[in-house]
C-alpha cells in the first residue's frame, strides 16, 4: 500500500511539473507577443483622407468647399524638460495656440497628448517643417520605460483629423445650398448633407477613397517615399457645377431684402428659369442664414420655401384653368361672360370681384382677374377633364427639381370635381394647394410651346481629373398644343399691357404674367392674412425666361394685393436681368 501511494505521489508531482512548464510556455509566448507590439516600428503608415466635393456657381465661384483639419500630437515623455519652453514658444508661434494653455496641458499629462484638433492646412504644412527642426534642436529625447523594458522616441506628429465645410459667400444662395452636420467615422470628423443641394447630392459630393501610404520612417517619424513604399490613390467627392450665377443671385437677394422691409412681409421668394432648358438661373429668398454659424433664430429659415411650402395659390391658377378649357375646346376667348356687377352666389357664399363689370370676354376674365367669370367658365369642364388637366400641368406631383423634401400639394379627389362649388373654387386657386416651384413650372409651359421640362440647379459633375459627368433628366412632355400655348401667351401679355399686371411692363421686352392674391387658410376658415404672387415670363428676341414671385404675408396696408407687392418685385427682377445681359431691350 505504501509503495502504491508513493507511486501516485510521484505521478501527480510529474503531472504538476508538466502543467507548470506548459503554463510558463504559454505565458512566455503571450509576453513576447505583447513585447513585439510595444517595440518601435521601422515602418510608418499614414492615411490621407479624401474630402467632400465643392459646390460651384455658374460664374465659377466656390459657394461650398471643404478644408482639411489636422491635429498635433506629441508624447510628453519625450519632451526634454530643459527645452520645454523652447518647444512651447515655437509650437505656439507656428500654430497660433495660446502659450499658457499649451504648457499647462503638457505639464498635466504624461504620455500621448493631442495639442489641437483644428489646425488648418497652411499651419499644418509649417508645423511639419517645424517638427524636423525640433529634432535637430534636441527638443525630443528618447524615453526608457523601465517597467516594460522598452525605449521610444516620438516627436511632433501632424496628422489629418477630418474636414470642415466652409461657405465663403456666407448667406448668399441659402437656403438652396443647404448645410451639413458633423459625423465621426473611424475617429475622423466628416460631414453629411442635411438640407438643400448638400443633402440632395450627398452621394455625389461624398468622398470615395482615402490615400493609404506605407513606408519606412525617418528619425522625425515622417514617411520616406521611395520605390519600397506603398500608396493607394485618393478619390475626392465630385464637384457640382450649378446653373445659378452668384452675381445675379446676390443682386436679387438685395432686391428681396429691400422689399421685405418695405412690405413688412414674412418672406419673399423669387426664381428665374430658362424656359427652354429648365435651368434655374436664380432661386432667391429674403430669409437666409450663414451655414457656418446657424443660430436658433435661423431655424425657420432652413427650409427651402420654394419646394417645401404648400399654399393655396389663388388667382394665378386662372390661366391654368383657362388653358385646360382651350385644350378641351370648351371656350372661345371672345365668348362673352356675364359678371353680374362683380357679385355671384356659389353655394352658400357670395363671391365678389374687385371690379363691377357686367360683361367680359372670356380672355378678359383672365386679364382683369374676375372670380365670378372664372367660376362660370370652370363649369364647362367635366370632372375628368378638370382633374386630369391639373395633373397634366404637374399639380400633386413633384417637379423633380434637384432639392430634397419637395412637397406634392393637393387637389380635391376626382368625384368632388362633379360639384359646382369645387369646380368654381379650384378654378380660381382655392380648395387646393401647390408649391411655388409647381406653379413656376406650370407657367413655363406657356413660354415653351406647350411643353413641360424638368427644372434643375445642378448643371454637371466634375472629378479631380477634369472629367465632366452629365446629369440625365426626363425629357420634355406636351401638356397643351402649341396653338393653346401661344394663345395663353397672348392673354398673359394683354394682362400686363391692360390688366392687373400693368406695373410689370418694361418697354422693349415681351412681358406676360398673372397676379394672385390669396387668403391664408387657418383653423377651418380664412384669416385676414394673404400671400400675393406674380408668375409670368420676360422675353427678348433670343432669350426666354419664366419668372415667379411669392410674397408671404405682406402686412403693410393694401400691399397684400399682388399688383402692389409681387408685381413691382417682378419688374425689378426683369431690370436686373437686363442689367446683367440676360435680356436685351429692343429699340
Neighbour tally for 279: CB within 10 Å: 19
Q: At what angle do helices 383-392 and 420-427 cross, to 10 degrees?
A: 30
Q: Is the domain of 472 the same as that of 460?
A: yes
For the chain, list residues with pLDDT below 70. 1-5, 8, 28-48, 209-234, 524, 558
- Yes or no: say if 372 and 344 are a contact pair by the CB < 8 Å rule: yes
- Look at residues 207, 242, 277 and tell me which one is the last residue of a structural domain: 242
Q: Is the domain of 179 the same as that of 267?
A: no
Q: Is the domain of 328 the same as that of 342?
A: yes
Domain contains 34:
no
Domain contains 102:
no
Q: Is the domain of 349 the same as that of 446?
A: yes
- Yes or no: say if 388 and 417 are a contact pair by the CB < 8 Å rule: no
**∠ CA(221), CA(217), CA(43), 5° rounding?**
115
Domain contains 208:
yes
- Yes or no: say if 390 and 427 are a contact pair by the CB < 8 Å rule: no
* Polymer length of the chain: 587
Q: Is the domain of 160 the same as that of 272?
A: no
Q: Is the domain of 490 the same as that of 563?
A: yes
Neighbour tally for 225: CB within 10 Å: 11
Q: Is the domain of 216 the same as that of 358?
A: no
- Look at residues 177, 208, 242 and tell me which one is the last residue of a structural domain: 242
Report the alpha-carbon distance of residue 31 to residue 516 in Å, rounded: 82
Number of domain units in the chain: 2
For residue 296, give the 3-state DSSP assignment: helix
For residue 318, give the 3-state DSSP assignment: helix
Report the alpha-carbon distance of residue 371 to residue 326 in Å, rounded: 18
pLDDT of 40:
46
Q: Is the domain of 71 the same as that of 86?
A: yes
Report the alpha-carbon distance of residue 145 to residue 142 in Å, rounded: 10
CB neighbours of 275 closer than 8 A, spacing ≥ 6?
444, 447, 448, 537, 539, 544, 545, 546
pLDDT of 215:
65
pLDDT of 35:
47
- Yes or no: say if 337 and 362 are a contact pair by the CB < 8 Å rule: yes
Cell numbers standing for residue 220: 522625425
Domain contains 235:
yes
pLDDT of 39:
43
| Whole-number Cα distances in Å, 87 to 113, 114, 316, 526 | 14, 15, 70, 71
pLDDT of 557:
72
Q: For cell 507590439, name the residue.
A: 37
Instruction: Tell me the per-residue pLDDT of 227-247, one tens digit each, with 9 for 90 and over.
Output: 666 566 667 899 999 999 999
Q: Is the domain of 355 the same as that of 441?
A: yes
What is the CATH number for 137?
3.90.1310.10
Q: Is the domain of 235 the same as that of 256?
A: no
Q: Is the domain of 266 the same as that of 215?
A: no
What is the CATH number for 392?
3.40.710.10
Domain contains 27:
no
For residue 134, give the 3-state DSSP assignment: helix
User: Among candidates 447, 443, 387, which has minimal Cα distance to 418?
Assistant: 387
Neighbour tally for 104: CB within 10 Å: 12
Q: Is the domain of 190 the same as that of 258?
A: no
Domain contains 6:
no
CA atoms within 13 A on the CB side of 348: 0
pLDDT of 494:
97
pLDDT of 157:
87
Q: Which secondary-structure segment (H or E) carries 101? A: helix 99-107
Domain contains 116:
yes
- Yes or no: say if 337 and 367 are a contact pair by the CB < 8 Å rule: no
Domain contains 265:
yes
3-state SS track over 349-405: EEEECCCCCCEEEHHHHHHCCCHHHHHHHHCCCCHHHHHHHHHHCCCCCCCCCCCCC
- Look at residues 242, 260, 285 and tell me which one is the last residue of a structural domain: 242
| Domain assignment of residue 178, given as a range | 43-94+111-242
Amino acid at each position: 500500500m505504501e509503495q502504491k501511494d508513493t507511486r501516485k505521489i510521484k505521478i501527480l508531482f510529474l503531472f504538476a511539473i508538466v502543467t507548470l512548464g506548459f503554463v510558463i510556455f504559454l505565458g512566455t509566448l503571450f509576453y513576447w507577443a505583447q513585447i513585439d507590439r510595444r517595440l518601435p516600428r521601422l515602418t510608418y503608415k499614414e492615411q490621407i483622407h479624401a474630402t467632400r466635393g465643392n459646390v460651384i456657381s455658374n460664374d465659377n465661384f466656390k459657394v461650398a468647399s471643404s478644408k482639411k483639419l489636422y491635429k498635433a500630437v506629441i508624447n510628453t515623455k519625450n519632451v526634454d524638460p530643459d527645452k520645454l519652453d523652447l518647444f512651447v514658444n515655437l509650437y505656439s508661434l507656428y500654430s497660433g495656440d495660446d502659450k499658457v494653455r499649451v504648457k499647462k496641458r503638457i505639464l498635466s499629462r504624461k504620455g500621448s497628448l493631442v495639442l489641437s484638433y483644428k489646425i488648418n492646412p497652411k499651419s499644418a504644412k509649417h508645423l511639419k517643417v517645424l517638427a524636423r527642426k525640433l529634432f535637430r534642436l534636441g527638443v525630443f529625447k528618447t524615453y526608457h520605460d523601465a517597467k516594460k523594458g522598452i525605449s521610444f522616441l516620438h516627436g511632433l506628429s501632424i496628422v489629418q483629423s477630418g474636414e470642415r465645410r466652409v461657405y465663403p459667400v456666407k448667406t448668399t444662395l441659402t437656403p438652396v445650398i443647404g448645410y451639413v452636420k458633423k459625423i465621426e467615422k473611424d475617429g475622423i470628423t466628416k460631414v453629411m448633407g442635411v438640407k438643400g443641394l448638400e443633402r440632395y447630392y450627398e452621394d455625389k459630393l461624398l468622398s470615395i477613397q482615402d490615400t493609404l501610404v506605407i513606408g519606412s520612417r525617418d528619425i522625425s517619424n515622417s514617411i520616406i517615399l521611395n520605390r519600397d513604399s506603398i500608396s493607394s490613390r485618393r478619390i475626392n467627392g465630385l464637384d457640382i457645377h450649378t446653373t445659378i450665377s452668384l452675381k445675379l443671385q446676390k443682386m436679387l437677394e438685395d432686391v428681396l431684402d429691400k422689399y421685405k422691409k418695405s412690405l413688412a412681409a414674412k418672406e419673399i421668394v423669387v426664381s428665374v428659369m430658362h424656359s427652354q432648358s429648365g435651368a434655374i438661373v436664380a432661386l432667391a429668398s429674403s430669409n437666409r442664414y450663414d451655414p457656418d454659424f446657424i443660430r436658433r433664430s435661423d431655424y425657420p429659415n432652413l427650409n427651402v420655401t420654394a419646394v417645401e411650402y404648400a399654399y393655396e395659390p389663388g388667382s394665378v391658377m386662372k390661366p391654368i384653368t383657362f388653358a385646360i378649357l382651350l385644350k378641351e375646346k370648351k371656350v372661345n376667348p371672345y365668348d362673352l361672360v356675364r359678371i353680374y356687377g362683380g357679385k355671384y352666389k356659389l353655394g352658400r357664399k357670395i363671391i365678389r370681384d374687385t371690379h363691377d363689370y357686367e360683361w367680359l370676354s372670356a380672355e378678359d376674365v383672365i386679364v382683369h382677374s374676375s372670380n365670378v367669370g372664372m367660376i362660370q367658365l370652370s363649369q364647362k369642364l367635366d370632372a375628368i377633364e378638370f382633374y386630369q388637366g391639373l395633373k397634366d400641368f404637374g399639380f400633386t406631383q413633384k417637379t423633380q427639381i434637384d432639392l430634397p423634401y419637395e412637397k406634392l400639394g393637393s387637389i380635391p379627389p376626382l368625384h368632388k370635381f362633379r360639384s359646382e362649388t369645387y369646380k368654381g373654387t379650384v378654378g380660381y386657386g382655392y380648395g387646393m394647394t401647390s408649391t411655388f416651384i409647381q406653379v413656376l413650372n406650370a407657367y413655363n409651359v406657356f413660354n415653351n410651346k406647350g411643353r413641360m421640362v424638368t427644372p434643375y440647379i445642378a448643371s454637371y459633375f466634375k472629378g479631380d481629373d477634369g472629367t465632366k459627368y452629365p446629369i440625365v433628366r426626363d425629357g420634355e412632355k406636351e401638356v397643351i398644343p402649341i396653338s393653346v400655348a401661344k394663345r395663353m401667351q397672348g392673354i398673359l401679355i394683354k394682362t400686363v399691357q391692360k390688366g392687373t399686371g400693368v406695373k410689370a411692363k418694361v418697354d422693349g421686352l415681351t412681358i406676360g404674367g398673372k397676379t394672385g392674391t390669396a387668403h391664408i387658410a387657418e383653423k377651418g376658415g380664412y384669416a385676414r392674412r394673404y400671400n400675393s404672387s406674380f408668375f409670368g415670363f420676360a422675353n427678348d428676341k433670343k432669350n426666354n425666361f419664366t419668372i415667379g414671385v411669392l410674397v408671404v404675408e405682406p402686412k403693410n396696408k393694401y400691399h397684400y394685393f399682388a399688383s402692389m407687392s409681387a408685381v413691382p418685385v417682378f419688374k425689378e427682377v426683369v431690370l436686373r436681368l437686363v442689367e446683367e445681359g440676360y435680356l436685351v431691350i429692343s429699340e
